[in-house]
Structure 1
Amino acid sequence: MKAFGKILGLVLLGLLLIIVALGFALSHLFDPNDYKDEIRQIARDKAHIELTLNGDIGWSLFPWLGLELHDASVATLAAPNKPFADLQMIGLSVRVLPLLRKEVQMSDVRVEGLNLRLTRDKAGHGNWQDIGQPAPATASAETPAQPAAPASSAKPDTASQPIKLDIDSLTVNNARVEYNDEQNGKQFSAESIQLSTGPIHEATSTPVKLTAFLGTNQPVMRVKTEVDGKLRFDRVLKRYQFEDMRITGEASGEPLQGKTVTYAAQGQILVDLAANVAEWSSLKISANQLRALGELKAHSLDTTAQISGGLSIAQLDLAKFLDSIGHPLPPMAPGSLSKVEMVSRLSGTPTSVTFDELNLKVDDSTFSGRIAVEDFAKQALRIQLKGDTFDADRYLPPKTAEATSATAARQAEVQSSEAGALAASGDTPLPAAPTKSGWSTAKLIPVTRLKALDLTADISFGQLTISKLPIQNAALKANSQGGLLTLETLRGDLYKGHFAANGSLDVRPMLPLVNLQTRINNVPVEKILQSQGQKPPINGLLTLDSNVTGSGNSQNALIESLNGTANFVLNDGVLLNANLEQQLCQGIATLNRKTLSGAPRGKDTPFKALKGSLVFHNGVASNPDLIVSIPGMSVKGDGDIDLRVLGMDYRIGITVEGDKSAMPDPACQVGKNFVGVELPLRCRGPLELGAKACRLDKEGLGKVAAKVAGNKISEKLEEKLGDKVSPELKEALKGLFKR
């Protein structure tokens, strides 16, 4: 038996040597380059591809089944002269014996100079769809297909396992992938692709490193990127992991306006196709100054993916960040948006994203609530926030040079009028009517953005500062769609009073249309004027109802087209630096043909109420029913307020009871002859002057003098007649002198 075993061993050794010798002979004596035409034909017949072999073919048979191709290209049979792929060299080898066990044990796989060109034509057909398809002419000439073998003749091996992979390494040098869509003209490319891996084994971590330059033409973008990490996969469980993943790179192009973004992302990625879930944990993202942490999870990958997770953005200077990516903000107050941070839960789909449990800090303000983009394509934005304090003025652009120049010109005109407005004496001429407009002609409304805006907003503030007005407990509700912005409400407490407004802005017509309704209740008017940098000519609690419309895209155009109505009441007020009583004393002294002996006793005129109505027509407000309740006199007025130049022109009638002070000026004493007499005033000039722009109307004063003279004659008749004539005759005689 020992001899038999020894003989059998020698026989097997001899057979193995024969096989090795045969493999060596085949690989060295047989040259595959002599059979290129046959190889091409086999590729056409079996793989249905057009294979072009311009370089040499190298091969080995045992113990490695090796293949090396040089300068080869592949095309579809539908377009054999348009290769979709070519390469400079590919080299790989497989151990022969493990193939019998359905194991693929490969040495290093190298690919050099691969070019892959994918094209979709104008009809929407991609050249990759023809890969493996017979040529059209060949397909038409083929004989009818034979009936398929009965299914029972070959039972599938449901328990079979996938082929086991075992590759020492994979290296791809200088590869390029290009995609061209002729339907929309878009192009995408990935160039200078470098890929290297460690040993590739099932269910083990494989080091992977990939670098590439990516580019698109719509918009023009160039991206340099590098991916590094460890890839782990289990094809049986359909589970794929990218451990310790890190992506770094730089991006530039048209969307960045010539700026460069340096970005990085890292974390652990898991994709489980059996459960249709994926997650990105230990997420870290950076882009220039932006730093973010978080986690993302996705489910329902087989249908519409649903995303959830959390995101935290560290404090950053948002203004500088946006400028660094080519999207600078409009000019704002220094330091605006310099401290912005956010923490939120998020959820979304491929077309939407929602930030819930949002905590957002913007400079000195803190907001909580919810922000959602319901549709990326429609830019459908939904905002529901609650803030503590917010100064909106610091985020508004400063005045343009044109607006500043217009304001300066108007202020100079006002100062010139004010210099000569000595209201206390009443002797100076009326101020000239203003002619300079302080309104800007710069574009005010971003029409293009508003036309595309789909917005629903519900925001509340503990304190909102806008136009320098500190609004307490402010609430804002607005929506915009299709170019129509609707202000449902803007309300709040203002200087212990209250206000509310609603209206709309329609940018669909050629000229934007504005409609605004306001209600102001018991708000100190002087506080409003002071907040706008004006010296108030009047104090008092303002109650106002208005409904106005306007059209245009600048302050000047909106004012010039202003139409509508308003009603106002100013209670418990004071006309500052305007002693109407003194002016009236001057008028009475003139009628008495006397001179005031004392100096003016005060600068202001208090009043109980000032009220009336306004009718706006193309920027001019008519006020036909002005009534002022002043102790000792009643005041009625009729005039216009020209909002285009912020000027006024009024005729005022004042009925007085006289100087009722403890020691009245003798020249200002009111006798019976002044009872019921209405003294005229004319007020003209800039609104800022208030009552300082009022003067005695000397033209109307002559009529008053005639009436007073009639009263004096009537008094003398009364004295002469006494009780000697009937009352009817007395009245008739008095009437002769009152006409």
Structure 2
Amino acid sequence: MNRLIKWITIVFAGLVLLMVLATVLLPKFIDPNDYRSDIAKMAYEQTGLTLKINGPIDWSVFPWLGLNLKDLTVAGHDGSQLAKLEKADVSVKLLPLLTKNIEVKNATLDGLNLNLVKNQQGKGNWEVTSAKPSPPARTPPAKAPVPQATATSAPAAGTPMALDIANVAINNLTIQYSDKTTGNSYVIKNASLNTSAISNQTPFDITAKASVLSNNPKISLNTELKATVTFNLEKGLYDLNNFSLIAKPDAEPLTLTGNIHLQQQPFLTKGEFNIASFNPKQFLAQLNMPLPPMADKNAMESLTVKGSFKSNGKSLNTDNLALTLDDFNLNGFLNVDDIAKEAITFKLTGNALNLDNYLPPATSTPVAVKDQDQAPSAEPNTPEKELPLIPEALLSNLNINGSMSLTALTAANLQFDQPSITIHAADGRSEVKIASGFYKGTIELDGKTDVRVKGTPKLAVKATLKDISLNALSTPITELKPMQGDVNANMNIATEGQLQSALTRNLNGTIGFDINQGAFKEANFNKMVCEGIALVRQEKLQKKDWGTSTPFEDLSGTFTIRNGVAVNKDLTAALSSLNLKGDGTINFIDQTIDYHVGLNIRGDEQLLDNDPACEINKDYVNITWPVRCLGKLGAQQCGLDSERMANTIADLAKQEAKKHIKNTIDKKVNGLKDAFKGLFN
């Protein structure tokens, strides 16, 4: 038995010695450079690309399984150079591989240049046709039963893999992409990736750099990433800590910092991010994407964003979100509850925001007016084709539920106090509700859209205005200065269609308003009427202090809109000594107006602030003097209403007839009285 064991030991030792000699001597007797053409042929047959190895090929087997290549080129299907590599070197320790341990002495890649070109026909030089047809599939032979592993067999599949890499060095990487169909080109150059020693559960540093260039838009950007990485291959945990990503076009950099944690099973990623304060106006200008001029020259000069995130692959939550733009702060959360369905929820709060600061500045430069004497264009004026106004595709896929509230908002020079907005959209229907304090009153708006029927979106708007002070509102809207009072209004309108013409033609609803305890501040209608009466009588007004306004108790009316035409029949205003009534139509389809206004005097024989020069015969009291406004909206002409004036003249004639009959009766009665007196004298 001892003799047998001795022989087995000798044979085993011999086999081991032969293996060691083979791994050491094999590279000495087999030169891989002799197989360049075979390697190139195999590469072409498998990929259809032409590989050329111009430099030497060095390799080793034991104790390090290594490969060193220099000066490689790859040509695309059109013969153009697709890739060029100056040097590649990797060495892996052989024996640890048997126990699922990977030890890498170095991993170096230097001077890789990828040149990707898409030609005019839209085909890339990296795209190839099937190089060589694969041999027909053959029925594989029956497999022998695999013996079950014993306690002394190779490590089980669940055994964790150990990884040790001395360092990774990728330098002088260049990637060029050119699209001949669009003329666009993009370049990543001077790219590099370097690490310290990489080992399982041991933190290591990485540094990556690159320059990014683009011709459309024209961009030149230097980037740098630094971070500390830790991973646990056994548990599937990966951490990117204290990362810093810097994008720097010129002087103004954009810096993103934070931490990221990744878990494989079950999938989970979370972390924090922070975009340090930077000047977005200057940053975009450096990228040749300048922002348009703004009303506030200091607007868009400071932006900061920070928050935390968490995702399981099906949803994404961003909590503690904080954004600061100049002096505006916005805080809250924005979540994607279902990534597949793009379901978004958010709740944001902010301080005062002045949107006007970010709008184009007001200009006093007059708009150029075309010379009327200029010869007309030879091309005939053709009506512009209408474009769809409602983004149906966007609204139909919108799945959002959220709210935002601010302490104050300035928009179009209007002040909103404590405005809030809520949005709900799903299944092709959306609703937006807005509520805000507005010039000593309140405003509420509820807008709905329905795009479930393609090509015929439906819109509906309800709005309520309560106790809006015209006096306060006249500060931003100077056209309202001639009036004062508190406005109350209700609007309920609906329409459908995709084009402006259809939306106008299908407009239906009601708009009602009233102004309580108001006044026309820059006109005294009583004085105007009295001056006219005194002028006819050739008398002078005795009263001196008339004042400059005309108060009224109520000004109200209702517009009923049917198929794009608004009709009003009940405009009324009760002035101090006058009544104002109005009715008419506004055609939004034709952009025309036909409106009637009637003015009459009420009171007794001495009216209009009791000035003797204004004494009016009772016959003229409550007679309506009509005015009509007719024409295109914005260019309508107003004057005496000749049609309704006939009714006024008829009313006057009736009054005169009644007066004549009364006078005749009075004379006859007086004559009878005198006759009776004579009989008794």
TM-score (norm 1): 0.63
Pairs within 5 Å for 1:106-255: 136=135, 140=138, 144-145=141-142, 147-148=144-145, 150-151=147-148, 155-158=152-155, 206=167, 208-214=169-175, 221-224=186-189, 225-234=191-200, 239=201, 241-243=203-205, 245-253=206-214
- Alpha carbons of 1:538 and 1:331: their partners in 2 closer, same or farther (altered >3 Å)? same
Q: Percent identity?
A: 24
Pairs within 5 Å for 1:630-645: 630-641=575-586
Alpha-carbon distance between aligned partners in 2 of 1:375 and 1:109, rounded to the nearest angstrom: 41
2:232 alignment partner in structure 1: 272
- Alpha carbons of 1:493 and 1:650: their partners in 2 closer, same or farther (altered >3 Å)? same
Alpha-carbon distance between aligned partners in 1 of 2:73 and 2:91, rounded to the nearest angstrom: 20
Task: Say which SS state the counterpart of residue 370 (structure 1) adopts.
Answer: strand
Which among 461, 471, 495 is matched to residue 439 of structure 2? 495
Which among 316, 326, 349 is matched to residue 363 of structure 1? 326
| 8 Å CA contact 2:524, 2:548 repeated in 1 | yes
Alpha-carbon distance between aligned partners in 1 of 2:537 and 2:577, rounded to the nearest angstrom: 22
Which among 382, 385, 391 is matched to residue 348 of structure 2? 385
Which among 555, 558, 574 is matched to residue 613 of structure 1? 558
| 8 Å CA contact 2:33, 2:57 repeated in 1 | no
Pairs within 5 Å for 1:516-595: 516-528=461-473, 530-550=475-495, 562-585=507-530
Pairs within 5 Å for 1:8-23: none
Alpha-carbon distance between aligned partners in 2 of 1:490 and 1:110, rounded to the nearest angstrom: 60
Amino acid aligned to 2:530: C
User: Per-residue deviation at 1:546?
Assistant: 0.9
- Alpha carbons of 1:707 and 1:89: their partners in 2 closer, same or farther (altered >3 Å)? closer
Amino acid aligned to 1:473: Q
Alpha-carbon distance between aligned partners in 2 of 1:652 and 1:630, rounded to the nearest angstrom: 13
- Alpha carbons of 1:723 and 1:711: their partners in 2 closer, same or farther (altered >3 Å)? same
| 8 Å CA contact 2:161, 2:233 repeated in 1 | no
2:6 alignment partner in structure 1: none
User: Per-residue deviation at 1:363?
Assistant: 2.3
2:335 alignment partner in structure 1: 372
Alpha-carbon distance between aligned partners in 1 of 2:176 and 2:390, rounded to the nearest angstrom: 36
User: Per-residue deviation at 1:468?
Assistant: 2.3
| 8 Å CA contact 1:596, 1:665 repeated in 2 | no
| 8 Å CA contact 1:60, 1:67 repeated in 2 | yes
| 8 Å CA contact 1:32, 1:57 repeated in 2 | no
Alpha-carbon distance between aligned partners in 2 of 1:315 and 1:164, rounded to the nearest angstrom: 42
Alpha-carbon distance between aligned partners in 2 of 1:588 and 1:504, rounded to the nearest angstrom: 54
Q: Can you list the C-alpha shifts for 1:8-45, whole angstroms capped at 9, x where unaligned?
A: xxxxxxxxxxx99x989x969984369979x989xx9x
Task: Say which SS state the counterpart of residue 140 (structure 1) adopts.
Answer: coil
Which among 652, 655, 660 is matched to residue 713 of structure 1? 660
User: Per-residue deviation at 1:639?
Assistant: 2.6
2:269 alignment partner in structure 1: 307
| 8 Å CA contact 1:40, 1:52 repeated in 2 | no
- Alpha carbons of 1:714 and 1:478: their partners in 2 closer, same or farther (altered >3 Å)? farther
1:190 alignment partner in structure 2: none
Q: Can you list the C-alpha shifts for 1:64-101, whole angstroms capped at 9, x where unaligned?
A: 99988899999xxxxxxxxx999998888999999999
| 8 Å CA contact 1:535, 1:688 repeated in 2 | no
User: Per-residue deviation at 1:564?
Assistant: 2.2
Amino acid aligned to 2:209: T
Which among 18, 24, 30 is matched to residue 32 of structure 1? 30
Alpha-carbon distance between aligned partners in 2 of 1:555 and 1:296, rounded to the nearest angstrom: 49
Which among 602, 606, 625 is matched to residue 656 of structure 1? 602
User: Per-residue deviation at 1:713?
Assistant: 3.1
Alpha-carbon distance between aligned partners in 1 of 2:444 and 2:157, rounded to the nearest angstrom: 75
Amino acid aligned to 2:434: L
Task: Say which SS state the counterpart of residue 531 (structure 1) adopts.
Answer: coil
| 8 Å CA contact 1:90, 1:111 repeated in 2 | yes
Task: Say which SS state the counterpart of residue 291 (structure 1) adopts.
Answer: strand
Alpha-carbon distance between aligned partners in 1 of 2:27 and 2:471, rounded to the nearest angstrom: 108
Alpha-carbon distance between aligned partners in 2 of 1:292 and 1:99, rounded to the nearest angstrom: 39
| 8 Å CA contact 1:104, 1:163 repeated in 2 | no
Alpha-carbon distance between aligned partners in 1 of 2:204 and 2:629, rounded to the nearest angstrom: 80
Alpha-carbon distance between aligned partners in 1 of 2:405 and 2:97, rounded to the nearest angstrom: 71
Alpha-carbon distance between aligned partners in 1 of 2:237 and 2:424, rounded to the nearest angstrom: 36
1:132 alignment partner in structure 2: none
Higher RCO (Cα < 8 Å, 6 or more apart): 1
2:574 alignment partner in structure 1: 629
- Alpha carbons of 1:52 and 1:215: their partners in 2 closer, same or farther (altered >3 Å)? closer
Task: Say which SS state the counterpart of residue 218 (structure 2) adopts.
Answer: coil
Unaligned 5+ segments in structure 1 are 1-18, 75-83, 118-126, 128-134, 166-201, 410-440, 727-739
- Alpha carbons of 1:725 and 1:264: their partners in 2 closer, same or farther (altered >3 Å)? farther
User: Per-residue deviation at 1:53?
Assistant: 10
Task: Say which SS state the counterpart of residue 534 (structure 1) adopts.
Answer: helix
- Alpha carbons of 1:389 and 1:260: their partners in 2 closer, same or farther (altered >3 Å)? same
User: Per-residue deviation at 1:307?
Assistant: 1.9
1:504 alignment partner in structure 2: 448
Unaligned 5+ segments in structure 2 are 1-16, 75-81, 116-126, 128-133, 371-385, 674-681
Pairs within 5 Å for 1:281-430: 281-288=241-248, 289-299=253-263, 301-304=264-267, 306-322=268-284, 332-333=294-295, 334-350=297-313, 353-374=316-337, 380-396=343-359
Task: Say which SS state the counterpart of residue 274 (structure 1) adopts.
Answer: coil
- Alpha carbons of 1:302 and 1:687: their partners in 2 closer, same or farther (altered >3 Å)? same
Alpha-carbon distance between aligned partners in 2 of 1:163 and 1:384, rounded to the nearest angstrom: 44
Alpha-carbon distance between aligned partners in 2 of 1:696 and 1:29, rounded to the nearest angstrom: 112
TM-score (norm 2): 0.68
Alpha-carbon distance between aligned partners in 2 of 1:382 and 1:391, rounded to the nearest angstrom: 25
Amino acid aligned to 1:246: T
Alpha-carbon distance between aligned partners in 2 of 1:619 and 1:395, rounded to the nearest angstrom: 35
Q: Can you list the C-alpha shifts for 1:179-234, whole angstroms capped at 9, x where unaligned?
A: xxxxxxxxxxxxxxxxxxxxxxx768647454423466899643332223313213
| 8 Å CA contact 2:102, 2:164 repeated in 1 | no
Q: Is 615-624 or 380-389 further displaced after alignment?
A: 615-624
Q: Can you list the C-alpha shifts for 1:323-350, whole angstroms capped at 9, x where unaligned?
A: 6557666765444433221232222245
Which among 644, 647, 650 is matched to residue 703 of structure 1? 650
Amino acid aligned to 1:231: A
> How many residues in Structure 1 have an aligned counterpart in Structure 2?
596
Amino acid aligned to 2:407: G
- Alpha carbons of 1:446 and 1:66: their partners in 2 closer, same or farther (altered >3 Å)? closer
User: Per-residue deviation at 1:705?
Assistant: 3.5
| 8 Å CA contact 1:534, 1:688 repeated in 2 | no
Alpha-carbon distance between aligned partners in 1 of 2:348 and 2:629, rounded to the nearest angstrom: 48
Alpha-carbon distance between aligned partners in 2 of 1:85 and 1:268, rounded to the nearest angstrom: 31
User: Per-residue deviation at 1:240?
Assistant: 5.7
Q: CA RMSD in A?
A: 5.8
Alpha-carbon distance between aligned partners in 2 of 1:536 and 1:482, rounded to the nearest angstrom: 46
2:400 alignment partner in structure 1: 455
